[in-house]
Amino acid sequence: MAAAAASLLLLQCVVTMLAGAATADAQYSAQTFADLQNAARADVGVAPLAWDDTLAGYAQRYAGERKGDCKLVHSDGPYGESIFWGNKGGNWTASDAVALWVQEKQYYNCSDGSCAAGKICSHYTQIVWANTTRVGCAAVACDGNLGTFILCEYDPRGNVPGVRPYAGCGQFNRSAQSSPQDFLNLQNAARAGVGVGMLSWDSTVAAYAEGYAEKRKGDCRKVSSGGPYGENIFQGGTGISWTVSDALFSWLGEKQKYDCASNACKEGQACGEYTQLVWANSTRVGCASVTCEGGGTFITCNYDPPGNIAGERPYLGCGGQAGGTPPPTSDKVNGTAANGNGNGSNANSSNPRRNGSSPAILPIVLPVVTILGLISAISIYIWIKRPSPKKTLSYTACSEDIEDIKSVLLDPSVIRTATSNFSEENKLGEGGFGQVYKGMMPDGQEIAVKRLSEGSKQGLPELKNELLLVAKLQHRNLVKLIGACLDGEDKLLVYEYIPKKSLDAFIFGTGVSSLFLILSKPWIEKY
Q: Residues 51-62: pLDDT tens digits?
A: 999 999 999 999
The rounded distance, in Å, linking the Cα atoms of 208 and 99 is: 27
pLDDT at 330 over 50: yes
Q: Which of 504, 423, 383, 363 is nearest to 2 (CA)?
A: 383
State the pTM of this model.
Answer: 0.45
The rounded distance, in Å, linking the Cα atoms of 386 and 27 is: 36
pLDDT at 299 over 70: yes
pLDDT at 455: 56
pLDDT at 48 over 70: yes
Q: Which of 233-242, 301-310, 404-413 has the highest mean pLDDT?
A: 301-310
- The CATH code of domain 20-172 reads 3.40.33.10
Fold annotation for 402-508: Phosphorylase Kinase; domain 1 (3.30.200)
| Residue boundaries of the structural domains of the chain | 20-172, 174-316, 402-508
Reported confidence tier of residue 462, pLDDT bands at 50, 70, 90 = low
Reported confidence tier of residue 124, pLDDT bands at 50, 70, 90 = very high
Fold agreement between 20-172 and 174-316: yes
The C-alpha angle with vertex 256 and arms to 230 and 220, in degrees rounded to 5, equals: 45
Q: Does the annotation flag 450 for ligand binding?
A: yes
pLDDT at 244: 81
Q: What is the mean pLDDT of residues 392-419?
A: 50
- Percentage of residues of the chain with pLDDT beyond 90: 30
pLDDT at 477: 54
Q: Quick one: which H or E segment has residue 154?
A: strand 148-155
The rounded distance, in Å, linking the Cα atoms of 261 and 491 is: 39
The rounded distance, in Å, linking the Cα atoms of 370 and 83 is: 40
Q: Quick one: which H or E segment has residue 265?
A: strand 264-265
The rounded distance, in Å, linking the Cα atoms of 152 and 52 is: 11
pLDDT at 487: 56
HEC string of 21-81 equals HHHHHHHHCHHHHHHHHHHHHHHCCCCCCEECHHHHHHHHHHHHHHCCCCCCCCCCCCCEE
CATH (one of 3.40.33.10, 3.90.1170.50, 2.30.42.10, 3.40.640.10) for 174-316: 3.40.33.10
pLDDT at 371 over 90: no
Reported confidence tier of residue 454, pLDDT bands at 50, 70, 90 = low
